[in-house]
Chain A
Amino acid sequence: GAVVSQHPSRVICKSGTSVKIECRSLDFQATTMFWYRQFPKQSLMLMATSNEGSKATYEQGVEKDKFLINHASLTLSTLTVTSAHPEDSSFYICSASSLDTSNSPLHFGNGTRLTVT
């Protein structure tokens, strides 16, 4: 089955530093990737949608200059949390699709637990 790899699985950083999270589709070409954020005991909130070779589309309330998304190839998308602060601590999950998502399930990475101290 389709596999999405997300790295790192866990990261602890100091306030003010930037953190990059990678999302890779291992056995298919992902034309579209989605980035979600999940707080404890809460559901996933879509942050942005990225299409290969074009700018990401951010959801309302998500700062595009703080959460930089790059989808430079059909197998890799990155999310960079710039100048991280403790309130950015959260669980970040990516998902990817190569097909018409109205007909096929999305495949998710295992998530990245970000802790900003």
Chain B
Amino acid sequence: KQEVTQIPAALSVPEGENLVLNCSFTDSAIYNLQWFRQDPGKGLTSLLLIQSSQREQTSGRLNASLDKSSGRSTLYIAASQPGDSATYLCATYNQGGKLIFGQGTELSVKP
């Protein structure tokens, strides 16, 4: 059974800092890994999707990496801004056809 863990659970940084969010998973037999953003009381917005054959994906100030062999993914946010404050969730899509989520990292970027 796939288990997805995110560390840290919460993170507070000053504006402008670069930061890394971590995601680990127990079952490496995944089709893809996705990073989402969730604002309070809202649904999820897809940020990046990394296929199992890929090592990383980039979108603007965001870069996500994937290391299947070690069961890890990182989301790197460059030059953080207060508007980046949200909860970030990673999720793996497994062969069972299900998206399994981590518990999220709540990010706060202070102006």
Minimum CB–CB distance for A105 against chain B, Å: 4
Across the interface, do A46 and B49 meet the contact criterion of CB distance under 8 Å?
A: no
In the complex, A106→B31 CA distance in Å? Answer: 13
Q: Which chain A residue has the least Cβ–Cβ distance from B48?
A: A105
User: DSSP majority for the A interface?
Assistant: strand
Across the interface, do B43 and A110 meet the contact criterion of CB distance under 8 Å?
A: yes
Interface residue A67 (Cβ < 8 Å from any Cβ of B): no
User: Which of A4, A49, A102, A109 has the most B CB atoms < 10 Å from its CB?
Assistant: A102
Across the interface, do B49 and A104 meet the contact criterion of CB distance under 8 Å?
A: yes
Interface residue B61 (Cβ < 8 Å from any Cβ of A): no
Interface residue B74 (Cβ < 8 Å from any Cβ of A): no
Interface residue B45 (Cβ < 8 Å from any Cβ of A): yes
Across the interface, do B98 and A46 meet the contact criterion of CB distance under 8 Å?
A: yes
Query: B: which residues have CB within 8 A of A?
Result: 31-32, 34, 36, 41-46, 49, 51, 89, 93, 97-104
Query: A: which residues have CB within 8 A of B?
Result: 4, 6, 34, 42-46, 49, 91, 93, 95, 101-111, 113
